[in-house]
């Protein structure tokens, strides 16, 4: 265990490489999150448009009954 603290110089490069990989993964996940947020907004708009259309049909039916 004590020998683990005495890391060879190559380990610093390996650690840096792993950190770069982690940062790349975080970047990709952040981009995907923004895409999903955009899709969620788009789906919400589609649902809202469908609700508005349904209300218009209801109003048309009510007007025809008057």
Say how far apart CA 47 and CA 39 lie, in whole Å: 12
- Please give the chain's pLDDT, 66 residues, in tens: 455 454 455 578 888 899 999 999 999 999 999 998 888 888 888 989 999 999 999 999 988 887
- Model confidence, pTM: 0.52
Separation between Cα atoms, residue 50 and residue 30, nearest integer Å: 30
pLDDT for 25: 93
Interatomic CA distance for residues 25 and 22, integer angstroms: 5
Residue with tokens 């048309």: 60
pLDDT, residue 9, reads 54
- pLDDT tens, 26-42? 999 999 999 988 888 88
């Amino acid at each position: 265990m004590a020998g683990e603290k005495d890391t060879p110089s190559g380990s610093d490069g390996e650690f840096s490489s792993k950190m770069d990989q982690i940062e790349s993964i975080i970047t990709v996940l952040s981009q995907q999150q923004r895409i999903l947020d955009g899709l969620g907004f788009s789906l919400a708009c589609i649902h809202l448009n469908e609700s508005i259309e349904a209300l218009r049909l209801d109003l048309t039916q009510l007007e025809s009954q008057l």
